[in-house]
Amino acid sequence: MVETQTQTTDEAHGGAAVRLWLYSSLLWLALGPLIGLLQSAQFFAPGLMEVIAPVGLAYSKLRIMHTNLVIYGWLGMAFIGGAHYLIPHLLHTRLYSESVGKGAAWVWNLALVLNIALIWAGVPGNLFLSIQPFEYAEAPLLVDILITVAVVLVIYNLHRTFLTRRVEGLYITVWYYMTALYETAIVYIVISFVNPFLFSGVGSQVVQAWWLHNIVGIFITPLGVGAIYFLIPRSSGSPLYSHRLGIVGFWALMIFYPFTGLHHFLQAPVPIWLNELAVTFSILLIIPVLAVTTNFLLTPGANWRRLFDSYPLRFALLGVIYYLATCIQGPVQASNTVNWYIHFTEWTAAHAHLALAGAFTATAMGLILHILPLVTGREYDRRMASFVFWVMALGFPLFLVAFTGSGVTAALGMNVLGQNVVQMIPAQEPWRVIRSLAGILLTAAFWGFVLLTLRQARSVEPAEEPPEPRAMDTERGMR
């Protein structure tokens, strides 16, 4: 009877494909931050390079591995795995094809493994095997082809699922997920297959800026925000506070975000109007941020007590807090008044970690803790979940303050005291040591999260899904 129940759940919500995507994401969560920790140690212990340099792991290669595995491996696979569960569930239909879902996951994993191997090997002068000079898109062309194949398979599978839906109205999560996948596919094709061959010089830099910010803005952000739109109503048992705020936030994000990338290159020789457009639209992003965070924080209503019982709700709300902090900081630092001061410092990297390692990592953890018990039939270790949560809630701010402090110190020295980068190293070293110590704690929490998801063995009965809040079936949550 247990097997029948579990199988029915799997078939209804894409269990086999979901498990493959989510468990794969955990593998990359274990590896990606560990590489980042090794990088951070090199700042105050450069002798480490003498140990790892003989095997071909230069700092530049480690940096590419770290960012690629966190974005494409951990967050990308976690949220796409979530899409394979949430979209069929919200559309009251089956996933169109388990085989296509699993095939896409295997192609994606193959692309990541090949990416690591080719970055490590550093093949020079080869069109298909060489590292490309585009940040967050350094993968060789062969890897780009595999990722594109995987994305096409994912879109095909989920779109066919969408066409067989049994509901007329679409919950806001479906809006975010489907739009994110289509827009990301377009931008990825442009940066990977158009930019290298049709653009050069400043023109190529403009396209690179378009991709650089949109990998977060139209891939990770919509998938993360869409997940929170599901998690908070579902976990709190409350209807979504406002569908109208949801629509305002969705359209404002989709209109403003694609044009913000050039605020990373205000000092570059690009047309001034493009820079001013990027800064203006960056500041306007406060509109979707306030819309969605207000919606999230008002949704639980009288059910805030569910925080004591629901770890998915805890992680989702922690993600909201970090997301709000990220998106207040972003428009401020995009302005010319601030940008000239913090540019070329670790402030910028700290900001990226606030978004990816803070807001969306917490969100992805909440999503996995909600979904995996339902598709595996096993509960997770709540004590380990508590450890991970409190490290994310208390340890991550320490990591962020140290990271930001190093950037502010460098900005002060270079812009006010007239020092150069090398002269500022001693003043930054204490901040970097604290950052690495906090990074050890965070990495331990990430490994703990991997462990708790792999040891979901406290129950042999399928986990019961919380009661579905009215928001999923009423006009307050669907259009």
| Count of beta carbons in the 10 Å neighbourhood of residue 238 | 20
Q: Please give the pLDDT value at position 1.
A: 26
CA distance 63 to 30: 16
| Structural domain for 465, as ranges | 2-472
Supply the pLDDT for residue 47: 79
Handedness of CA 332, 333, 336, 338 (dihedral sign): positive
CA dihedral 45, 51, 56, 60 (to 10 degrees): 0
Q: How many CB atoms lie within 10 A of CB 54?
A: 8
Question: Residue 52 falls within a domain, yes or no?
Answer: yes
pLDDT of the residue at 379: 83
Q: Among the residues of 377-424, which ranges form H helices?
A: 382-390, 396-415
Look at residue 31 and tell me if it is in a domain: yes
Q: What is the pLDDT of residue 463?
A: 46
Q: Give the Cα separation of 66 and 371 in Å (integer).
A: 26
What pTM, to 2 d.p., does this model score? 0.92
Please indicate, yes or no, if residue 379 is contained in any of the structural domains: yes
Residues 6+ apart with CB under 8 A from 366: 227, 228, 231, 235, 311, 312, 313, 314, 315, 316, 318, 319
- Which pLDDT score is estimated for 447? 96
Asked whether residue 477 is assigned to any structural domain, the reply reads: no
Tell me if 468 is assigned to some domain.
Answer: yes
For residue 139, the SS3 value is coil
Indicate whether 478 belongs to any domain.
Answer: no
Tokens, residue 383: 């004590």
Rg (CA), the chain: 22
pLDDT of residue 321: 97
| 304: three-class secondary structure by DSSP | helix
CATH code, 349: 1.20.210.10
- The 10 Å Cβ neighbour count of residue 20 is 23
| Tokens at 434, concatenated | 């604290």
326 within 8 A of 355, measured Cβ to Cβ: yes
As a whole number of angstroms, the distance between CA 408 and CA 404 comes to 6
Number of domains in the chain: 1
Residue 420 lies in a domain: yes
- Considering the domain boundaries, does residue 21 fall inside one? yes
Rounded to the nearest angstrom, the gap between the alpha carbon of residue 322 and the centroid of all alpha carbons in its chain is 13
Apex CA 91: angle with CA 95 and CA 366, to 5°?
A: 80
Q: Which two tokens stand for residue 93?
A: 């239909």
pLDDT at 125: 86
Identity of the amino acid at 24? S
Report pLDDT for 459: 41
Separation CA 94–CA 76 (nearest Å): 22
Each residue's pLDDT tens digit in the chain (479 positions)? 223 333 334 444 458 999 999 999 999 999 999 999 988 888 888 877 777 766 777 888 999 999 999 999 999 999 999 999 999 999 999 999 999 999 999 999 999 999 999 999 988 888 899 999 888 999 999 999 999 999 999 999 999 999 999 888 899 999 999 999 999 999 999 999 999 889 888 888 888 888 988 899 999 999 999 999 999 999 999 999 999 999 999 999 999 998 898 888 888 888 888 889 999 999 999 999 999 999 999 999 989 989 988 999 999 999 999 999 999 998 888 888 898 899 889 999 999 999 999 999 999 999 999 999 988 888 888 899 999 999 999 999 999 999 999 999 999 999 999 998 889 999 999 999 999 999 999 999 999 999 998 876 444 444 445 444 444 443 344 44
The pair of structure tokens assigned to 186 is 């377009």
Contact status, residue 21 vs residue 81, Cβ threshold 8 Å: yes
Q: Which of 29, 41, 38, 63 minimizes the C-alpha distance to 434?
A: 41
